[in-house]
């Protein structure tokens, strides 16, 4: 008996334990590996996806809770060939070092901009405080999110 899941506008049926964290279903069943494991305890933000408009840590969301919700992962951010303004801004600002934390940061920023199209500096920083970056790319990540916000 499968569980129905809608990710990036596409419905799929997944056959596994309903307590399985959404993260592993995304990565291993749907092969959407852009959402990444960082800590498994919701503390680093590497696995952030947008669920019904809110940024959530997919390592902390059981499949049973995700079922029936609208889920967007980093792979669903662009529309076809058209990159999302956040993705374009991150390229323009070269806002990456290793990029491992990047998917989660993009998704936290997306949730912020969808809810608050004209965020203040404090809004941006607060929205990203649940996302850790170890390479120290913070300065240009902030610049990229600001740029994406003002481009809207």
Partner 1 sequence: MSDTGTRRTDLPAGLRAYPRLDRWLAFHPDGTITVFTGKVEIGQGLHTAFAQIVADELDVDVGLVRVAPVDTAHSPDEGVTSGSRSIEEGGTTLRHVAAEARGALLDRAAARLHATRSELTVADGVIRSPSGASVSYRELASDDLLAREVTGDVPLKATVERRLIGTTVPRLDLAAKVTGAPVFVQDLRLPGMLHGRIARPPSYDAALRAVDGAALEAMPGVRAVVRDGSFLGVIAEREEQAIRALQRARRVASWDERTALPAADPRFLLNEASEELVVRERHHATALDRAAREVTAEYSRPYIAHAAIGPSCAVARLDDGRYTVWSHSQGVHQLRGDLRKVLGVGADAVRVIHMEGAGCYGHNGADDVALDAVLLARAVPGRPVRVQWMRDDEFAWEPYGPAMVVRLAARLDDHGDVVDWRHDGWSNGHGNRPSARSPENVAGVLAAAHLARPFAPSAPPPPRTGSSAAQRNAEPLYDFPNERVVNHHVARTPLRVSALRSLGAHANVFAIESFMDELATVSGSDPVEFRLRHLHETRGRAVIEAVRDRAGWRAGEKGDGRRGRGLGFARYKNAAAYVAVIAEVELDEAIRVTRVWAAVDTGMVVSRDGVVNQAEGGIVQAVSWALKEAVGYDEHRITTRGWAEYPILTFSETPEVEIALIDRPDEPPLGVGEAFAGPVAAAIANAVANAGGLRLRDMPFTRERVLEAMA
Q: Which of 64, 125, 150, 151 binds partner 1 (CB under 8 A)?
A: 125
Tokens 């951010």 belong to 77
Burial (CB count within 10 angstroms: exposed 0-12, middle 13-18, buried 19+), residue 141: buried
- Whichever of 69 and 143 has its CB closer to partner 1, that residue is 143
Burial (CB count within 10 angstroms: exposed 0-12, middle 13-18, buried 19+), residue 41: exposed
Q: Which residues neighbour 76 within 8 Å (Cβ) at sequence distance 6 or greater?
A: 7, 8, 9
Per CB under 8 A, 82 contacts partner 1:
no
Per CB under 8 A, 28 contacts partner 1:
yes
Residue 55 and residue 113 in contact, taking contact as beta carbons nearer than 8 Å? no
Per CB under 8 A, 102 contacts partner 1:
yes
Per CB under 8 A, 37 contacts partner 1:
yes
**Minimum CB–partner distance for residue 138 and partner 1 (Å):** 4
Per CB under 8 A, 94 contacts partner 1:
yes
Q: Which of 3, 27, 30, 71 binds partner 1 (CB under 8 A)?
A: 27
3-state secondary structure of 137: coil
Sites of contact with partner 1 (CB under 8 A): 16-17, 20-21, 24, 27-28, 31-41, 43-44, 46, 73-75, 77-78, 83, 87, 90-91, 94, 96-103, 106, 122, 124-126, 128-129, 131-142
């Amino acid at each position: 008996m499968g569980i129905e899941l809608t990710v990036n506008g596409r419905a799929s049926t997944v056959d596994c334990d309903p307590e399985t964290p959404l993260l592993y279903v995304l990565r291993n069943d749907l092969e959407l590996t852009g959402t990444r494991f960082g800590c498994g305890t919701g503390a680093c933000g590497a696995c952030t996806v947008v669920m019904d408009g809110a940024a959530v840590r997919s390592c902390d969301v059981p499949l049973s809770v995700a079922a029936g919700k609208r889920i967007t992962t980093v792979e669903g951010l662009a529309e076809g060939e058209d990159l999302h303004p956040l993705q374009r801004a991150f390229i323009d600002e070269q806002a990456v070092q290793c990029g491992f934390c990047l998917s989660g940061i993009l998704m936290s920023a997306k949730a912020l901009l969808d809810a608050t199209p004209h965020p203040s500096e404090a809004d941006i920083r607060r929205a990203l405080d649940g996302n850790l970056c170890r390479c120290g790319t913070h300065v240009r990540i902030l610049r990229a999110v600001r740029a994406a916000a003002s481009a809207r």
